Amino acid sequence: MEASTFKLKTPLITGGRSHIPLAKTEHMTVGLNYYTPGRKNKLHTHPGEDHTFVVMDGEATFYNREHQPTVLRKGEGIMLPENHYYYFESTGNRPLALFRVSAKKGNPKVVRIDAEGNKRTEPENEYVAVDGEPIEGKFWQLT
């Protein structure tokens, strides 16, 4: 396998959230999550995967299973071990750009389980926009 390079850049969106994969190997993926202010995800966990998030712009509040908050600002990060239930929200007044690193242990068949037990078996390997559309010609990028 060859080395790969990537740029911390993602299209601006009209609302909601997006995820853009940046690079991957058999055991690791890196991506950029982009959330408009107020957007959050659901309580979930990733079996067989450790996750790290670093705030590149905006503010994120991460919550554990007991809904205890941890506020992260630009340049701050969090390490989430496998099977740790969490969710996060874009709590700042500007969009949240999150650099995401995921390290797999083996080849888990389930990549995400939410609090209701719903399972996702396919990783987000392509650009994904939810609750919004990309704004043509407009991007967020680390400068």
Closest CA to 123 of 56, 53, 27, 11: 27
pLDDT higher than 90, residue 124: no
- b/e for 82-100, b at 16 or more Cβ within 10 A? eeebbbbbbbbeebbbbbb
Least confident span in 35-39, 55-59, 91-95, 115-119: 115-119
**Residue 132 backbone dihedrals phi, psi, to 5 degrees:** -170, 175
pLDDT-derived band at 122 (thresholds 50, 70, 90) equals: confident
The pLDDT, as a whole number, for residue 100 is 97
Task: Quote the mean pLDDT of the chain.
Answer: 94
The pLDDT, as a whole number, for residue 125 is 81
The pLDDT, as a whole number, for residue 33 is 96
**pTM for the full predicted model:** 0.93
Task: Give how far the C-alpha of residue 108 lies from the chain's centroid of Cα atoms, to the nearest Å.
Answer: 18
The pLDDT, as a whole number, for residue 46 is 92
Look up residue 100 and give its two tokens.
Answer: 């995401």
pLDDT-derived band at 96 (thresholds 50, 70, 90) equals: very high
Section 105-118 average pLDDT: 86
